Structure 1
Amino acid sequence: MTYPQPGHDATRPHPAVSGVPGPYPPVSGLPGPYPPVSVVPYQPGGYPQVAQRISVQPPLTSGMATASLVLGILGVLGGWCLFGLPCILAVILGHVALRETRDGTRSGHGMAVAGLVLGYVFVGPMIAFTVMAFFGGVLGAATPAP
Structure 2
Amino acid sequence: MSDTTTPTPAEPEPGEYVPPPAYTAPAPYVAPNPYLAPNPYTAPAAAPAHDPLATPVAPPPAAAAPAAAPPAPAPAPAYASAPAAPAYQPVPTTPAPYAPAPYTVGGVAYAYAPRTDPLALTSMILSLVGLLFWILGIPGVILGHIALSRIKRTGEGGKGMAIAGIAVGYAVIAFLLIYVAFFVIVFSSTYNSYSDYSGY
TM-score of the aligned structures, taking structure 1 as reference length: 0.52
Larger radius of gyration: 2
Match of 1:95 among 145, 156, 159: 145
- The structure in which a higher percent of residues are helix is 1
- Percent identity for Structure 1 against Structure 2: 25
Q: Give yes or no for the alignment of 1:30 onto 2:90.
A: yes
Aligned residues: 95
CA distance in 2, matches of 1:113, 1:78: 20
TM-superposition CA deviations, 1:55-107 (whole Å, max 9, x none): 2211011111111110110111232xxxx2x1110010000111122256211
- In angstroms, what is the RMSD of aligned CA positions? 3.3
Q: Residues 103 and 30 from structure 1, CA distance in 2 versus in 1: closer, same or farther, beyond 3 angstroms? A: farther
Return the structure number with greater relative CO, CA threshold 8 A, min gap 6: 1
Q: Give yes or no for the alignment of 1:50 onto 2:110.
A: no
Give the SS at the match of 2:111.
coil
Structure 1: stretches of 5+ with no match in the other structure: 1-26, 39-48, 141-145
Q: Residues 32 and 125 from structure 1, CA distance in 2 versus in 1: closer, same or farther, beyond 3 angstroms? A: closer
Q: How does 1:96-135 map to 2 (within 5 A)?
A: 96-103=146-153, 105-127=155-177, 129=179
Q: How does 1:64-75 map to 2 (within 5 A)?
A: 64-75=119-130
